[in-house]
Amino acid sequence: MKAATRGGQKMFNLEGALQRIPQQRILCVGDVMLDDFVYGDVSRISPEAPTPVLKVSHNVVGIGGAGTVARNAAGLGAHCVFVGLIGDDEAGRSLIEEFASLGGLVEAKLVVDSARQTTRKVRFVSEHYSSHLIRADWETADPAGRHNEAAIIAHAREALSRVDAVVLSDFAKGVLTPRVVRAIIDHAGRLGIPVIVDPKGHDYSVYRGATLLTPNRLELAAAIHRPVGSDTEIAAAAAELAHAVGSDALLITRSEEGMTLHVEGHAPVHVAAHPVKVRDVSGAGDTVTTVMALLLAMKAPFEPAMRAANAAASVVVGKRGTATLTLAELRHRLLPAASLAPEEKIIFDWSVLDEHLASWRRQSLRIGFTNGCFDLVHRGHVRLLTEARAACDRLVVGLNSDLSTRRLKGDGRPINAAEARAEVLSAFEAVDLVVIFEQETPLELIKRVKPSILIKGADYRLEDVVGRKEVEAAGGDVILVDLVPGQSTTGLVRRSAQSAPRPLRSLKPAKS
């Protein structure tokens, strides 16, 4: 994975890292629970007590707690070995079924303790107000006994030989006892595997030696026994805690205020939260932990990993329930639109074009079409594309292939290959699709698109525009856009050749 340089230092290729997420394997050990979200509407107060009455419409049951890490990893296409503890009860059996439904991306090692109650959380949610009314918990939070600890450690140690990072997701329900935590951190350290901890409780000394801790602001305050509010206070508290527990870094999640990253030897970094409509924060911390683990598994620096995790959190808080995200969602939230445009806009297979056209027509959108070689994009092209898009709802640009361009323009053209020209066009906001065609004229493509409006430059006469008859016969229009004087690719190529420096004459000494 190549990296650019900035100030003599290598810049991490985050886009390339996102593409490699499906190749990563992580281990997650922690407190799994069964989540049950009961949705409905509230329209009255109970006559029996001053409490709202929820008229239930439906409920959604799924894996929660530490298991959300496994779900997020699978949603991103990565592999996860999950180790947890359940009871021999209906909720435990439901969890076994839920893990099985995740398919081959998640390998669940669930230790069953018949003396325990599987943790189950039922949340009653008003859909109209997008708010939780009440939560009911069933749980046994006692520490796992010696027998269960041994089984958890054995599963974890076996998995450590085939994963790239470890997540310890602590909900204080008894799985991550000091003995379990110590065994996993020490073994991972010997193997050089990063350990990411989503902590709980007040005593963080149990996590000594972990690579990264991800407390929220309230958990940070509880751990250092004083309130923290400002950026400065949070940064100082993070540095103090990181030093106390011997971790390389701390990532403080701050809800709508974003995140703060402390890395030993570096200045603190604060990032703002993405502006989104928050529907449900359940599981957002687990999403952050998952993405940090997957990026650190690739040896990513902490800061780009944090920025990816921040983007991931903004996706899941916009969904209902303990949500997960896909790799496509993460890439769309994190990367600039122009970097995603080529894969979304460039069409080689015309059957894919048909799908886009059918969707637009179902929405009664006006489809426009223009075409050209677009070999060296200049101001004239910009005007053509922007005015073309202003005349329609969706603009399809037909692009001559390399062979087609050569037939039209002669030897030495195109200067840029079709893929490069298509990528430049796709970066324009005015362009909705770029379709490469091999024919000498775009007539076959125009017949396929059936545009409502056909746009060309004013260097054409109306009667010479290819496709005019077909478009007008179907009730469409043809528009000619004024040219920008002095702007043409052929002219640019000619002027460039004329201004090229002449080769130096030979400086050999003359013969005597």
Q: How far apart are CA 286 and CA 71, in angstroms?
A: 10
Residue with tokens 């990063």: 194
pLDDT tens digits for 278-315? Answer: 777 777 889 999 999 999 999 999 999 999 999 998 88
Token pair in block for residue 148: 């269960």
CA angle 100, 96, 99 (to 5 degrees): 35
pLDDT at position 10 is: 59
Largest CA distance in the chain: 121
**Closest by Cα among 72, 129, 74, 64 to 95:** 64
The band of 504, judged by pLDDT with boundaries at 50, 70 and 90, is very low
Annotated active-site residue in 286, 349, 375, 402? 286
pLDDT tens digits for 120-140? Answer: 999 998 887 667 889 999 998
Torsion of CA 165, 308, 236, 189, to 10 degrees: 10
Q: How far apart are CA 72 and CA 169, in angstroms?
A: 13
- When pLDDT is averaged across residues 207-219 and rounded to a whole number, the result is 94
Q: How far apart are CA 99 and CA 108, in angstroms?
A: 7
pTM over cut 0.85: no
Q: How far apart are CA 378 and CA 424, in angstroms?
A: 11
pLDDT tens digits for 384-415? Answer: 999 999 999 999 999 999 999 999 888 888 98
User: Is 30 within 8 Å of 171 (Cβ atoms)?
Assistant: yes
Domain locations along the chain:
22-335, 340-495
User: Is 459 within 8 Å of 484 (Cβ atoms)?
Assistant: no
Count of C-beta atoms within a 10 Å radius of residue 43:
11
Residues with Cβ within 8 Å of residue 387, at least 6 apart in sequence: 455, 479, 481
Count of C-beta atoms within a 10 Å radius of residue 100:
10
CATH of 340-495, one of 3.40.50.720, 3.30.470.20, 3.40.50.620, 3.40.50.300: 3.40.50.620
Looking at domain 22-335, its CATH superfamily turns out to be: Ribokinase (3.40.1190.20)
Helix (H, G, I), strand (E, B) or coil at 251: strand
pLDDT above 90: percentage of residues in the chain: 64
DSSP 110-139: EEEETTS---EEEEEEETTTTEEEEEEEE-
pLDDT at position 1 is: 36
**Closest by Cα among 176, 174, 181 to 210:** 181
User: Is 31 within 8 Å of 65 (Cβ atoms)?
Assistant: yes
pLDDT at position 8 is: 39
Is 286 an active-site residue?
yes
Q: What residue ranges in 221-365 does DSSP mark as E strands?
A: 249-253, 259-263, 269-271, 346-347
pLDDT tens digits for 162-186? Answer: 999 999 999 999 999 999 999 999 9
pLDDT at position 7 is: 40
Q: Is the pLDDT of residue 44 over 80?
A: yes
The band of 497, judged by pLDDT with boundaries at 50, 70 and 90, is low
**Closest by Cα among 333, 246, 249, 242 to 287:** 333
